[in-house]
Amino acid sequence: MAAALRERIARGVLKAGDRIPTQAELSQEFGVERGRVRQALQALRAEGLLSHSTKGVPPSVAQPGQDGERPGGTPEPRPTLVALGPRLVRAFAATEVRIDALCLTAESLIPAVSEAVIGVHSGSLRPESVDVRILLPSRSIDLAFPVAASGEPVEAAAVHRRWLEMRDSQVRVLSRTLTGLRQSHGTKVSVAFRTVPFTPPVKLYVLNGSEALFAYYLVRRTDENGEDVPEMIDTWGPRAQLFPYDVTHGPRDEVFVAQSARWFEGLWQTISEELKLDG
């Protein structure tokens, strides 16, 4: 339920200030008890997505500057699923767009990039060029996560195969989404994927050389993967809190953005290899 509401907020189905359905309505929609509804809403409040409510009144989607910003206008950390899309839209407002990303998978990038591409199709965004570079883990390494909790070879192979299929399918989706701008709008598009020989413990996005978004992957044990997927040690990237750094926010942020860009460039130019898909 929390994931579904997060997605509605990220897609703009539920906008800032909109009231969330009542607990009774959510209980009926998702077929769960009121206690489960309260737990989901509490989680969304803790992430800063919902305002605090008074008794008997449903909470609303948090307004910018209410739960989403500190005094003075500096953005607070927000979940990746919520924060990344609007920042990519802002990045695509530039004439020349440059996105560099290091991540475990491209799960969070797909809806965020799609949000920006929708802006291009609608005419609200008109970049002349889009240059995207993404670093992902190599298929040939033993990942630190996701891994089978049991350590059994058969289960370990199944988990690795599942991750690899997800990684490669996401790469294909991103490639199609971005390169489609060539045919539809004549945009100069460059999309490149390379691999690194380690499991990223963090995710990093550098946008137009002026903003860096950083998040820790929080490792957890999960056994809610379905009948065909074993219990795993895994992360949930869309929930990871993105810490934003912007060169306009002072010397500290300016140095962080510059060092992030430099770190990414070093990985790209030295230890990374071309990503090759099956088939």
Per the prediction, the chain carries an average pLDDT of 87
Distance in angstroms (rounded) separating the CA atoms of residues 237 and 81:
8
Residue 105: which of 160, 36, 53, 149 has the closest Cα? 160
Q: Does 92 score more than 90 pLDDT? A: yes
Asked whether 105 and 32 are in contact (CB, 8 A), the reply is: no
Residue 58 gets which letter from DSSP?
A: -
Distance in angstroms (rounded) separating the CA atoms of residues 169 and 123:
28
87 vs 47, higher pLDDT? 87
Q: Does 276 score more than 50 pLDDT? A: yes
Q: How many CA atoms lie within 13 A of 205 on its CB side?
A: 26
Print the SS3 string covering 72-105. CCCECCEEHHHHHHHHHHHHCCCCEEEEEEECCC
pLDDT of residue 67: 40
pLDDT of residue 251: 94
pLDDT of residue 214: 95
Q: Does 279 score more than 80 pLDDT? A: no
Asked if residue 77 has a cis previous peptide bond (ω within 30° of 0), the answer is: no
| Per-residue pLDDT tens digits for 131-146 | 999 999 999 999 999 9
Asked whether 264 and 210 are in contact (CB, 8 A), the reply is: no
pLDDT tier, 193 (very low <50, low <70, confident <90, very high otherwise): very high
| Per-residue pLDDT tens digits for 244-267 | 999 988 999 999 999 999 999 999
Q: Which pair of structure tokens corresponds to residue 115?
A: 């949000």
| Per-residue pLDDT tens digits for 12-67 | 788 878 888 888 888 888 888 888 888 788 777 765 678 766 566 778 887 654 44
How far CA 91 is from CA of 123, 132, 189, in Å, comes to 15, 12, 15
Residue 249 gets which letter from DSSP?
A: G
pLDDT of residue 71: 38
Residue 176: which of 108, 117, 90 has the closest Cα? 117
Asked whether 58 and 21 are in contact (CB, 8 A), the reply is: yes
| Per-residue pLDDT tens digits for 150-191 | 889 999 999 999 999 999 999 999 999 999 999 999 999 999
Report the predicted TM-score, pTM, of the whole model to 2 decimal places: 0.75
68 vs 17, higher pLDDT? 17
Asked whether 195 and 139 are in contact (CB, 8 A), the reply is: yes
Expressed in percent and rounded to 5, the helix, strand and coil fractions of the chain are 40, 25, 35
Asked whether 271 and 138 are in contact (CB, 8 A), the reply is: no
| Per-residue pLDDT tens digits for 211-239 | 999 999 999 887 655 556 678 999 878 88
pLDDT of residue 30: 86
- In the predicted model, what is the mean pLDDT of residues 87-94? 92
